[in-house]
Structure 1
Amino acid sequence: MMIDAHHHLWDLSAVHYPWLMETGAVRFFGDPTPIQRDYLLDEFRADAAAQGFSASVHIQVGAADPWAEAAWVQSVADQAPDWPLVQVAFCDLTAPDLGHRLDRLQTLPSLRGVRQIVGRAPEEDMASGTNALLDDPRFLAGLKELGARGLSFDLQLLPELMEQAARVLERAPETPVALCHAGSPHDRTEGGIKSWAGSLLSLSALPHVSCKLSGLGMFDHGWTADSARPIVHACLTQFGPARCMFGSNFPVDSLSSGYAELVSRHRSLIPVEMQADVFGRTAQHFYRF
């Protein structure tokens, strides 16, 4: 089974995404205008199946109503029983009614975990204040609650926050963590990659943390296999193939490459003997297919 471990879907008539539909906004990943349209399972599935994939993981993506998004994703999964689709939903781990929120989410058979973004890009996070989550004891308590419930956590953050995040995560060893987008190496200079790889060590040292090879085009729309080579190599070296998984980050990463091109580049960078893990087995185990 080949699994795309990180993608999004949206039906703009069913769920509202403020970040996506803001007029004239240019985000850290580029101009969202080309993706300000419905992106449904049939379109995603056609691209993914053509590359050998037969299952996928939907990741929450900033809906105005997170429950509406999670319920809609469940309806998509229900209508496509021949395409195993599981999801990582949003939940505020600092909420006073966290238990109630998780109880509700766990009524959805497709639920596997939660994502609450800690860091997207330096300029955006300075404004949003999400970095403060790592200093909030309620966030750590929420992480522990996920593990107690058999749920995982998808971690999106910046390299500058990795060491602080590792100190928090090491206190929640029962909660499986998936690092999104290889930790968002936004500085692609030689020095930036070296600094990112050094910070990544703090997370790869934790056995309950895995890494997604995803989102490589968000900070470099002109990326190539050669430019991404040091990133993929560092992830595979530090985490090993049994803790690395491929994710397309579509349709966001469609701004920088086609689906087939994206997969081809990753295949060229991942040694053949590691591909069964990275393109399937790791995600199958982590997300409990």
Structure 2
Amino acid sequence: MPYTGPIVDSHHHIWRRQDLRWLSGEVVPRIFGPYEPIRRDYPIDEYVAEAAGAGITQSVYVQTNWPLDQAMDEVRWLRDVHQAAGWPTAVIGTADLFSADAAHTMREQAATSALLRGTRLQLHWHEREEFRFAAAPDAMLDPIFMRNLAVLEELGWLFELQVFPQQMADAARLVAAFPRTTFVLVHAGMLIGPEEAEVKAWHTGMRALAEQPNVVVKLTGQGTFIHRVDPTFLALVTGHVLDLFGPRRAMFGTNFPIEKIWTTMPELVTAWRDTLSSLPLEQQAWIFAENARRVYSLPS
């Protein structure tokens, strides 16, 4: 039977148009396709209403690509949002990890808000330009980047790792260099489609990451490239993830409002409940709530 208990959303966004480069001016191509319907404010009240209606009781906000020189402003804004609304439960910030100033920024963020649990700087690179964010596929091995990543252990923070399958060999080397830091693999490793060649390359990369015990996987963003909620695709991704990582290293998240382009929160949550319904209820509870509480140090 499907799990019906409380859910933790391990990955969501709220935003204000004036604070986001990609929501103002020209439409910049993004990996999730045309996004005109969500080029508007997505305030905390709207998110909470949708989340609570779907059974979500806690949430982790993940940075939304504010300009890097406004990384502190994002943290301050979220501190104020939390004080007013009680949400989000925790925050993943960002910093320019290719800059010598990043360590100072992260320490200042930690001092500014107790909500901080880690940082993300998107590292994904792809042959297709519209899928590309990082400057190079192996940017994660840059010495300055790696020196800044070492600060996470000092802060007790995790790193949100966003890479494509062809980058996972380098990503595994990066993770191995920081065995006491938790790496959270965003969107289950960014499988772009169910084609055999794509799945094979993705599985190979995921197996290399699964060998690193400090990697956990977020079952998020599975509509990113196919632009729909597809039960067959959810089952495909989930089957591989659980075979490789097990149910103690996987967790659910909505990636809202991106998924709002093609679905609703109740439809998304129901699809995931159905996908995981064959698992024992204890394992469903781990994936829907307990693993995220553990990884992000959320109150029980």
Q: How many residues align?
A: 286
Alpha-carbon distance between aligned partners in 2 of 1:157 and 1:199, rounded to the nearest angstrom = 10
Matches within 5 A, 1:68-107: 68-81=73-86, 83=87, 85-107=89-111
Out of 195, 199, 205, which is 2:201 matched to? 195
> 1:132 deviation in Å?
4.0
Show CA shifts across 1:62-107 (max 9, x none).
11222222211111111123x4521000112232123311121102
Indicate the SS of the match to 1:54: strand
1:9 matched to 2:18: no
Equivalent position amino acid for 1:144 in 2:
A
Out of 24, 41, 64, which is 1:61 matched to? 64
Task: Return closer, same or farther for 1:251/1:127 CA change in 2, 3 Å cut-off.
Answer: closer
Unaligned ranges ≥5, structure 2: 1-5
Alpha-carbon distance between aligned partners in 1 of 2:27 and 2:159, rounded to the nearest angstrom = 32
Matches within 5 A, 1:97-136: 97-107=101-111, 108-119=113-124, 121=126, 122-124=128-130, 128-136=134-142
* TM-score, length basis structure 2: 0.90
1:221 aligns with 227
Task: Return closer, same or farther for 1:204/1:33 CA change in 2, 3 Å cut-off.
Answer: same
RMSD: 1.7
2:37 aligns with 34
Equivalent position amino acid for 1:34 in 2:
P
Indicate the SS of the match to 2:100: coil
Show CA shifts across 1:265-287 (max 9, x none).
11111124321111110010000
Alpha-carbon distance between aligned partners in 2 of 1:76 and 1:127, rounded to the nearest angstrom = 28
Alpha-carbon distance between aligned partners in 2 of 1:23 and 1:92, rounded to the nearest angstrom = 24
Contact 2:10–2:59 at 8 Å: present in 1 too? Answer: yes
Indicate the SS of the match to 2:137: helix
> 1:126 deviation in Å?
5.3
Matches within 5 A, 1:177-188: 177-188=183-194
Contact 2:31–2:131 at 8 Å: present in 1 too? Answer: no
Show CA shifts across 1:126-149 (max 9, x none).
575153422302222222220122
2:244 aligns with 238
Contact 1:90–1:115 at 8 Å: present in 2 too? Answer: yes
Equivalent position amino acid for 1:279 in 2:
F
* TM-score, length basis structure 1: 0.93
Out of 261, 286, 296, which is 1:277 matched to? 286
Equivalent position amino acid for 2:135 in 1:
G
Equivalent position amino acid for 1:213 in 2:
L
> 1:163 deviation in Å?
1.1
Equivalent position amino acid for 2:39 in 1:
Q
Alpha-carbon distance between aligned partners in 2 of 1:6 and 1:272, rounded to the nearest angstrom = 24
Contact 1:30–1:255 at 8 Å: present in 2 too? Answer: no
Task: Return closer, same or farther for 1:126/1:10 CA change in 2, 3 Å cut-off.
Answer: closer
Identical counterparts, % of pairs: 32
Out of 279, 293, 296, which is 1:287 matched to? 296
Task: Return closer, same or farther for 1:183/1:90 CA change in 2, 3 Å cut-off.
Answer: same
Contact 2:123–2:134 at 8 Å: present in 1 too? Answer: no
Alpha-carbon distance between aligned partners in 1 of 2:125 and 2:133, rounded to the nearest angstrom = 11
Alpha-carbon distance between aligned partners in 1 of 2:192 and 2:210, rounded to the nearest angstrom = 19
Out of 47, 52, 55, which is 2:50 matched to? 47
2:3 aligns with none
Unaligned ranges ≥5, structure 1: none
Task: Return closer, same or farther for 1:11/1:272 CA change in 2, 3 Å cut-off.
Answer: farther
